[in-house]
Amino acid sequence: MKRIDIHEALSRLPRLLRGLADGEILLLCRGGVPAAEMRPLPPRRAKPRPVGCARGRFEVPPSFFRPLPRGWLEAWPPS
């Protein structure tokens, strides 16, 4: 992980972005104190994620739709 000052990162941003494309991770610091992290995004999927691939493996039980117990509801702060 490479540490770099935020002001230096702003002046060298295009070159730093090329490094990110190669898998490098940057720790952006303000006055020597870490403030943020820059890392590359994961590659995009070539195909969309399939829908319904777990069909038939799990069933939502009827108890899922019942109201929560009163004590649980009272424990949460009002919205």
In whole angstroms, what is the distance from residue 11 CA to residue 17 CA? 12
pLDDT at residue 13 greater than cutoff 80:
yes
In whole angstroms, what is the distance from residue 52 CA to residue 35 CA? 41
- For 17, list phi and psi in degrees, rounded to 5: -65, -35
Q: What is the pLDDT of residues 27-76, one digit of tens each?
A: 999 999 999 999 988 888 899 888 888 888 888 899 999 998 888 888 88
